[in-house]
Structure 1
Amino acid sequence: MPRRKTLSNEEVLVAASRLLHDRGPDALTFESLGRACGLSPATLVQRFKTKAGLKQATLLHAWDRLDAKTATLSASTPKTPDGAIELLVGLSDYGGIETYAEGLLVLREDLRDPALRARGAAWKVALSAALEERFAGVAGAPRGIGLLMASQWQGSLLWWGFDPQGQVEDFVAAGLRGFVSAVLAEPAEVG
């Protein structure tokens, strides 16, 4: 197969992201990416300089995509508690347990790199604010419910991973509905 002469960075990074998620961070090399996208490894080295630079560019691209998806869901879901659940379920499309497990290896890479950690911290703020907005004016909603709900969501994903029965989206939705009901429930009177 003849090698392609040109390919946008977007196309290269999509191929790199697929490799990273399908085969793990260690499988992302200039050689494997060259086979996947049709560019020579030398061309990829010219673009990304080092394997660490390639990995970081790939993960920053993934953060860009997650930020865009979060913004799209934030703009398209109702500003209600049910809309908060819908937003988080929309971010839960991990597929099966193998895909989710590989994603945890990718998360490890995000935690190791200060630039990627900063992107994660910024996403936490944006996601929490989007969730908080869906509880504005809701009686009984505690201050900080956005981060509480995001934390519940992440915990639901992890618990599903230990016993991946059914679709992750269904498990997450059920857990978040329970969380919202518990948080917004009227406290019981004592004595």
Structure 2
Amino acid sequence: MPRPKTQSDEDVLEAAHRLIHAHGPEALTFERLSEACGLSGSTLVQRFKSKAALKQRTLLQAWDRLDGKTERLAAAAPRSPAGAIGLLVALSRDYGGIESYAEGLLVLREDLRDPLLRARGASWKASLGDVLDACFASTGSAPPDIGLLMASHWQGSLLWWSFDPTIEVAAYVEESLNRFVTAISARNP
């Protein structure tokens, strides 16, 4: 079968993202991506110039998708503590099982190594914190920076789940976040 002559960068970067998640960031080479997307290695080198640039563009596209998903979920979330829980549980569903979560930690390592990707993470943290703050604004008694506190608890619950993944990640996160909101509410009547 002949190779496709054209393919959008978005499609190529999606294939690169699947490759990274399936086999880790080090598996992303022009040769393996060529096999995954069907474009020649030389075409990929012409488009992306280097492995580092390819990896960065792949992960920037992943951040774009996460930002978009967070915005869509935030727009639909009721401005209440339950809405905040629902938003974070919905984001947790993307983690899948333990193997997928573990591979995701390798991708996070790549984000932390690159200043541009780190900045995208910081931006997402700020916008997520603002949305979560807004979910608690109606209670009138939430502690300052409740959004960041809740996001931190959420990330911690993902990590604790990963050590003993006996139930689905979203169920574990929902249970943990409900306990968090109960504890915050009891301390701030």
> Taking structure 2 as the reference length, what is the TM-score of the superposition?
0.97
User: For residues 126 and 187 of structure 1, do their structure 2 counterparts lie closer, same or farther at Cα, with a shift above 3 Å needed?
Assistant: closer
Match of 1:79 in 2: 79
Q: Is 1:96 aligned to residue 97 of structure 2?
A: yes
Match of 1:3 in 2: 3
Give the partner amino acid of 2:186.
A
Report the Cα offset of residue 143 of structure 1.
1.0
Match of 1:27 in 2: 27
Report the Cα offset of residue 140 of structure 1.
2.6
Q: Distance in 2 between matches of 1:3 and 1:186?
A: 63
Residues 7-18 of structure 1: matches in 2 within 5 Å?
7-18=7-18
Whether the 8 Å contact between 2:143 and 2:188 is mirrored in structure 1 is no
Instruction: Quote the sequence identity (%).
Output: 64
Whether the 8 Å contact between 2:79 and 2:138 is mirrored in structure 1 is no
Give the partner amino acid of 1:34.
S
> Taking structure 1 as the reference length, what is the TM-score of the superposition?
0.96
Q: Distance in 2 between matches of 1:142 and 1:177?
A: 16
Q: Distance in 2 between matches of 1:142 and 1:181?
A: 13
Residues 31-110 of structure 1: matches in 2 within 5 Å?
31-93=31-93, 94-110=95-111
Bigger proportion of residues as helix: 2
Q: Distance in 2 between matches of 1:157 and 1:163?
A: 10
Q: How many residues align?
A: 188
Q: Distance in 2 between matches of 1:168 and 1:137?
A: 28
Match of 2:182 in 1: 181
Cα distance per residue 1:167-188 (max 9 Å; x no partner): 0000000000000000111469
Give the root-mean-square deviation of aligned CA atoms: 1.1
Cα distance per residue 1:10-40 (max 9 Å; x no partner): 1011111000111100000111011000000
